[in-house]
Amino acid sequence: MEHASAHTLAHFQAQPINRHNQQVQRLFMILFGCMAALLVIPVVLIIFILVQKGAPALSWAFLTTFPSNGMTAGGILPALLGTIWLVAVSLLASVPLGVAAAIYLSEYARQDHWLTRMINLATINLAGVPSIVHASSGWGAFVAFFRLGTSILAASLTLAVMTLPVVIVSSWESLQAVPQAFREACWNMGATRWQTIRHVVLPNALTGILTGIILQVSRAAGETAPIMFTGAAFFLPYLPTSIMDQTMALALHLFTITTQVPEVPEEIPFGVALVLFGIVLLINSCSIALRMYLRSKKKW
């Protein structure tokens, strides 16, 4: 690093600050500022259109009734509840596993060990696998091999595998943020490694871990491909009663009524998109607010 710095700095001639250079600097600052703005503005416009066209469809009845007339009218109740089912069950699977994996990586594993490198590589790859490949493997593993059938359980497990890296990475970061001195103080009292984790490290990292989990909820709620073949159905006239049933889901419902069902009045898909978008936005805002609160309370 020192060598690199000496090398890059060698290009420089010491020079007085002149007007021309300062103008160039101002120019680039404006240019990059515009680029940042251009990244945000189209999306804000799109969101505006989404709200404008979707808002008329929203009502209490829209959220609490079944779709009717071959899904060209009515509400989204079964899709909304289905999404809650899928997210809840996938959390039950991925949170304990992901947090435990993060504890291993942060508290037990030696950072330079080859196995730790392998785990990190696997986590990166798990996050990078295309969602449709997760869907095919979820079908191959949970639906066909473990004979769970197309069910909430199979779909949730597929989602859980897909969102696991998010939980691992965010939990690992919050565990790492707990100062090493806390652990050493606890060990010096004669506590075992597990007692230290249980009574000192975890309580201090808890809010951070929670932030990551909330983020994962929003991700799981919006996924479509992984649940398409593993447990979500285009249309069901009833609500699921157990995790072995199929279910409708909000994300898949949006896909279905925009591409598979002809002549749906425009405001319904816009309404569904707005609800889905709203849920994701709300959950994410909670996560961000929690993180900011955490940062303001930080004692070390």
Partner 1 sequence: MEHAPSVQPGLTASGDGRNRDWYIDQFFRLLMFVCGISAIVFVLGIFIFVFKEGAGFIVHQLEWAEFFLSPKWRPTSAIHATYGTLAMVAGTAAVTLIAMAVALPFSFGAAIFIAEFAQGKTREWLKVTIELLAAIPSVVWGFIGLMIINPLIIELFDVPIGLNVLNAGLILGLMAAPIITSIAEDALKAVPDTYREAAEALGATRWQVIYQVVLPAAKNGLLSAALLGVGRAFGETMAVLMASGHALVIPGSVFDSIRALTATIAAELGETPVGSDHYQALFAIGIFLFSITFFINMIADLVVRGIRNQ
Q: Which is nearer to partner 1, 131 or 242 (CB)?
A: 131
| Residue 65 interacting with partner 1 (CB under 8 A) | no
Residue 229 has phi, psi (to 5 degrees) of: -105, -10
Rounded CA-CA distance 87/284 in Å is 15
Q: Quick one: 78 or 219, whose CB is closer to partner 1? A: 219
- How many residues touch partner 1 under the rule CB under 8 A: the total is 109
First and final C-alpha spacing in the chain:
29
Nearer to partner 1, 223 or 245 (CB): 223
Contacts with partner 1 in 18-47 (CB under 8 A)?
21-22, 24-25, 28-29, 31-36, 38-40, 42-43, 46
Binder of partner 1 out of 58, 81, 119, 261 (CB under 8 A): 119
Closer residue to partner 1 (CB): 61 or 282:
282
HSE at residue 42, side-chain half, CA atoms within 13 A, is: 5
Q: Is 188 among the residues that bind partner 1 (CB under 8 A)?
A: yes
Please give the radius of gyration of the chain, using alpha carbons only, rounded to the nearest integer. Answer: 25
Type and span of the H or E element at 1: none
- Please, what's the largest Cα pairwise distance for the chain? 76
SS3 state at 76? coil
* 4 touches partner 1 by CB under 8 A: yes
Binding of partner 1 by 174 (CB under 8 A) = no
Indicate whether 125 belongs to the interface with partner 1 (CB under 8 A): yes
